Amino acid sequence: MAYKELVQVILDGVGGRENINGVTHCVTRLRFDLKDENKAKTDKLKNTSGVVTVVQSGGQYQVVIGNHVPEVHKEFIEEAGMSEGNTDSSDSGKKKGVFDAFIDLISGIFTLILSLLAATGMIKGLNVIFVSTGWLSETSGTYAILQAAGDAFFYFFPIFLGYTSAKKFGLKPFVGMAIGAALVYPSMSSLTVGLDPLYTLFSGTLFESPVYVTFLGIPVILMNYGSSVVPIVLANFFGSKLEKFITKIIPSLLRSFLVPFLTVLLMVPLTYLLIGPIATWAGNILGSGALAAYNFSPVLAGLIVGGFWQVLVMFGLHWGVIPIAINNIAVFGYDPLLILGMSTPFATAGAVLAVLIKSKNTQLRAIGIPAFISSFFGVSEPSLYGVTLPRKKPFIATLIAAATGGVIVGLSGSQKFMMGGMGIFGIPTVINPDTGWDIGFYGFIIAIIVAFVLAFILTITFFYDPKEDREQEKQAKKKVDESTEESPELLETKEIVSPISGKIIPVSEITDEAFSSELLGKGIGVIPESGEVIAPFDGVVVTLFPSRHAIGLKSTDGVELLIHIGMDTVKLEGEYFHSLVEQGDHFKQGDKLLTFEPEKIKQAGYSIETPIIVTNHQNYLDVVMDESIKGIKIIN
């Protein structure tokens, strides 16, 4: 499926390239850092086919796309002329609150590696299963290789965070990676082997630290930085400041090598001497505080986190919990917090299944079936925005069931021993590497089953009435029927004659699913009999593709029309297409806009079926094919 037209709508909807500081994506969302969110056309985006919804939270403008967001993101950065992870927060025209800035910082650092974090965690989880079931021995070569594949990412985590945090802070990424690599350099971690400490600092306190080596006579407190999070993030924050200062004082001729030379030379010792120990102690305190809150009442924690996890996800605020969980696993070897919300996708799946069983709405089924499957794999947002939240009561059933699952997890003392996949892929992360399938693991299994079943029962009995959907459909149909039948004199319509002469066909017969599914808008298809595109109204050329195979028009009264000549004809790179106008040109009805050579296009192996689409169809009551005028009728 092509996403070019969709990303153009999104690019315009967020205020254009000049309004974007940066854009990343997570599992289902494009996450924008915009200079001015007031310039965004939020209502238009929410009503765009292919966009599930828009969320403004955590200092980010989040456009929820669905499971195909990686493809849309790739197309978007190409269309906008950006690079992967492109960001320039320093150019932001807005000031964020402390909490918004924190969420933006965390998501900016972790989003790029979240998929790999899940994938390698799943490999570690599988290895634990293989050992627990006796399929593998911990001394076997197979186990060792699989463990290397799964654990290397976590052990060398500072290197990966060195890259992502450097990009976030504006430090050269490879400089950030070099600082991270220095923290996990093998020779440093082995300095304490077989040696007695020279002396001990802070004896008798929480920060008591033996000193084995010094740097220029200054004591070095050696820490284990493998799998750590906070030290490299803080080091790169200060490193970015240092790099900017050095850049200012070094002549431009010498910057290419002297700036990274001095930055690494100064930052690595500074990190070992000061930043690393302080950051490690801070991480330990953070983890201990989180565990203390959990230990105060695991049941209450499960009720709150489980019950509100879906709400946190809605606003992107779950990012505040993820780094705490990663830190807990690095420091203590386990985390009891993140697992409290892991019943949520299963609860969502149960509610969606109940809706699908009770509803006879084919359109709802088309949305609900893939959303149900996605929920089992931990991606619940298609279910949330497409099924449960619009109907309100199933959403409430989801919260109740997820809260119940969180309570069971808290009662069972279930813990997460590694970061990994979501949904069913998250199950192996709950297996204790030391004891195997213990009460915590079984408690978690019970929790997700109860969450699924309870949400299903609540929804199918009390929390969903399909009559509500049917009533909404009847009201919408009644509105159209009343407008089109008894009061034609009160009906405002626009008629657009096909700009290309030929055979008119329903858009549903177009072979490209992006058009036939009306993802890009409503309209008609044409099998051209001539090679001319004639302006169907007065207006302006808003888009002219470089390959000239497609053109976007906007009428003086606001109709936005896309004319896409042929299927996959972008590959012809403009051959057989000839433009008589340029982007931004104004035209009159009847003006010739483009010419093309249908026979040569067919001889080159391409279909010439041409979608003619009203891309802003959501602004009108309906857009229908009208064979009597060989064109489109817009009902307003």
Q: Where do runs of H (alpha helix) occur along 385-516?
A: 389-391, 393-412, 439-461, 466-484, 513-516
Nearest 10 degrees: CA dihedral of 303, 305, 306, 310? Answer: 140
The tokens for 425 are 């892929």
Nearest Cα neighbor of 635 from 483, 436, 493 is 493
Could you confirm whether 617 is annotated as catalytic?
no
What distances in angstroms separate CA 387 from CA 37, 119, 363, 382, 398, one per listed residue? 27, 28, 11, 8, 11
Specify whether the CB–CB gap between 532 and 610 falls below 8 A. Answer: no
**Three-class SS state of 309:** helix
**Three-class SS state of 32:** strand
Catalytic residue among 25, 26, 73, 549: 26
Catalytic residue among 25, 73, 549, 564: 564
CA–CA separation, 595 and 610 (whole Å) = 13
Q: Where do runs of H (alpha helix) occur along 52-185?
A: 69-80, 98-110, 114-132, 141-155, 157-169, 173-183
CA–CA separation, 170 and 613 (whole Å) = 42
Length of the chain: 636
Specify whether the CB–CB gap between 254 and 304 falls below 8 A. Answer: no
Specify whether the CB–CB gap between 341 and 306 falls below 8 A. Answer: yes
Specify whether the CB–CB gap between 451 and 347 falls below 8 A. Answer: yes
Could you confirm whether 26 is annotated as catalytic?
yes
Catalytic positions are 26, 564
